[in-house]
């Protein structure tokens, strides 16, 4: 049983490093880093999780003298690791938000703006709708448990006692943006194809019957068919979101193994 009242100076510094990574992760992560979660709650959760993980971190392999001498470098390293892992967890919501933006622009509802509490920015109605569904799916499959498990395992995969940091995975993180764009296009592909067919049909109709004002007529038709396809494809969207969570988790653990 760890005696918290008799910690040595090196143990206090080690706990501070663990807490720094946890704080950086909580601030930048997808679910816990949302602006709707108050800052005192984030800090309290970080402290509680750090206290739980501190006794099980591989203290035996830690060089206490190195911690005391290189505390600044180790602190910066822990912040970088925590922020990087937290950013990777946001990929799921980035893809969902990107999908909502593409759908809203193709349907014609991109002008309506609402505040998106998950990302702390303004988005359109379709974006907000997709973000809500994504949050529900994320919670339904225990995505928040995955986040806590990931940060807990990071202390074994990326020890706090080393100053070395492999920068190779950061390039992979940047390249994963291309994969995120492809996933977003796949998720909104039914709507994009439908709107393309509608626009082609309205163009042919406008050429065949010049008396019809295509610009006025096409807008309600596009919105009606686009929203119909959105609701019809909701089961497929949920399936894609489940696969997206798995891809995000695999990418997160792959980056941790190579940091």
Confidence tier at 60 by pLDDT (50, 70, 90): very low
Confidence tier at 64 by pLDDT (50, 70, 90): low
Q: What is the pLDDT of residue 145?
A: 82
Q: What is the pLDDT of residue 254?
A: 77
pLDDT in tens, 199-220: 888 888 877 777 777 777 777 8
pLDDT in tens, 141-183: 888 888 888 888 888 888 777 666 676 677 777 777 778 888 8
The structure tokens listed for 156 are 């074994």
pLDDT in tens, 65-117: 556 667 777 888 888 888 888 888 888 888 888 888 888 888 877 655 555 55
């Amino acid at each position: 049983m760890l005696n918290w009242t008799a910690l040595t100076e090196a143990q206090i510094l080690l706990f501070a490093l663990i807490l720094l990574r946890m704080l950086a992760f909580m601030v930048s992560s997808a679910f816990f880093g949302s602006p709707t979660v108050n800052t005192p709650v984030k800090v309290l959760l970080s402290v509680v999780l750090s206290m739980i993980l501190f006794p099980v971190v591989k203290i035996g392999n830690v060089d206490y003298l190195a911690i005391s001498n290189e505390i600044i470098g180790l602190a910066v390293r822990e912040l970088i690791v925590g922020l990087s892992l937290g950013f990777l967890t946001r990929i799921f919501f980035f893809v969902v938000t990107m999908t909502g933006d593409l759908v809203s622009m193709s349907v014609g509802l991109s002008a309506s703006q609402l505040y998106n509490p998950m990302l702390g920015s303004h988005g359109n109605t379709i974006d907000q709708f997709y973000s809500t569904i994504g949050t529900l799916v994320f919670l339904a499959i225990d995505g928040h448990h995955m986040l806590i498990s990931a940060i807990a395992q990071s202390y074994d995969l990326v020890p706090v006692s080393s100053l070395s940091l492999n920068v190779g995975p950061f390039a992979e993180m940047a390249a994963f943006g291309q994969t995120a764009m492809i996933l977003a296009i796949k998720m909104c592909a039914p709507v994009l194809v439908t709107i393309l067919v509608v626009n082609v049909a309205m163009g042919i109709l406008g050429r065949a019957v010049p008396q019809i004002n295509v610009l006025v007529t096409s807008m309600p038709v596009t919105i009606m068919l686009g929203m119909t396809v959105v609701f019809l494809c909701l089961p497929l969207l949920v399936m894609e979101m489940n696969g997206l969570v798995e891809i995000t988790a695999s990418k997160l653990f792959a980056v941790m193994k190579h940091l």
